[in-house]
Amino acid sequence: MRILDQPVVIDGVRTAFGKAGEKGVFWKTRADDLAVAVAKALIQRNPKIKPNMIEDSIWGVTNQVKEQGGTLGRAVPMLAEWGWELPGCSIDRMCAGGLTAIGFGVGYIATGMADCLLTGGVEHMGHLPMGFMRDPHPRLQEVMGGPSAFNMGMTAENIHDRFPEFTREMADRYALLSQQKAHRAIQAGKMKQMIVPIEIEESDGSRVVIETDQQPRPDTNMKSLSGLKPAFRENGRVTAGNASGLNDGAAAVFLMSGKKAEVLGLEPKMRWVSSAVAAVDPTIMGTAPVPATLKALEKAGLAMDDLDIIEMNEAFAVQVLYCLDRLGLDADDPRVNIWGGSLAFGHPLAASGPRLVTFLMNLFKENGHARYGLTTMCVGRGQGYAMIWENMQTRDSAP
């Protein structure tokens, strides 16, 4: 591909992630309001960028109905009171909708179609649960390989079945590791640099500011994990402890061309290197980050050993274990999910991709000698998405 200009990340933010349902902190908050909050925060954090510089608003949204329907990407800038002149669109690649929004934005910039873009993802799984108002084709179950392809928890059970070397104990142990890493990061204040405070209404009508994730369980231990019942089938191995949560949240990323950033006097945080999407058997959809990552590495002319930081979405512990193993990594590889992952923080579908990018951006800042990083995730219906980035917050980066 001929690159006219190099796409770079200027900044990324997210909301805290709440639990889905009436006990969730965002139960009385709309999804579009969460998206507007992170969009406005990016402008506030980057005063050299004016709303009229943004050439498109590209948002990943999985369930595009009700408050998440009607082309949310177009609504966000108007609700932010930036005027009518800023266009927008919404993208659905299920869990990777937000990462795809960033990927599409990269393509815009690399081909010269735009110099400044707002990209992001949002999901309110409390108001709009998975599968809400869907009407799949009568033959879709057949062509996807069976009913388990519709149930992400069952696809994780299928990985356990087909690859029995990944046991329930291993999945629980990995989930515990994710919780421990997340707790250390939260205690050290790592989340404060990226979370946008949101004022919400509680059940009694009072107002409170939410700026901490609701999902993490710092008291998790192997005994508590091993005592949990299977969530998706009798005698199964996937539980609420080794699966990501159902969550509400939003995340957004400013993308820009390198030339535009230079003109504005902005310091890019990281540079796009390559992207890849891949597809696999939908009944084991969690395995797809492997071919996606290998394709992205090939496009970049890199190998796994060249990656200094790896952000892999943790839809299910067994899915991560499989992917790490097939990519030649240990489950406790110190490069992987340094601050924990979705098993701890939660997984509000399309918001998780921009969350991964925002984590990587901040991890690059803390690791000045790190050069290359990966953001990758599995996708319902049997897809995987991967993006490789280069750190620009270090003198080691190539000019």
- The answer to whether 42 and 300 have CB atoms below 8 angstroms apart is no
- The answer to whether 102 and 361 have CB atoms below 8 angstroms apart is no
Nearest to 215 by CA among 365, 21, 78, 354: 21
Q: What distances in angstroms separate CA 171 from CA 182, 331, 393, one per listed residue? A: 17, 10, 35
User: What is the distance between the alpha carbons of residues 171 and 319, in angstroms, rounded to a whole number?
Assistant: 9
Output DSSP code: residue 117: E
Axis-axis angle for helices 317-326, 168-187 (nearest 10): 100
Burial of 65-98, coded b for 16+ CB within 10 Å and e otherwise, reads eebbbeebbbbbbebbebeeebebebbebbbbbb
User: Residue 95 catalytic?
Assistant: yes
Q: Residues 95, 116, 124, 127: which is the catalytic one?
A: 95
Q: Residues 124, 160, 183, 347: which is the catalytic one?
A: 347
User: Residue 116 catalytic?
Assistant: no
Torsion of CA 287, 293, 295, 297, to 10 degrees: -160
User: Residue 160 catalytic?
Assistant: no
Which contiguous run of DSSP H or E holds residue 254? strand 247-257
* Distance, CA of 240 to chain centre: 19
User: What is the distance between the alpha carbons of residues 73 and 120, in angstroms, rounded to a whole number?
Assistant: 9
Nearest to 231 by CA among 244, 221, 222, 218: 244
Q: Residues 116, 124, 323, 378: which is the catalytic one?
A: 378
User: What is the distance between the alpha carbons of residues 293 and 282, in angstroms, rounded to a whole number?
Assistant: 18
Tell me which residues are annotated as active site.
95, 347, 378
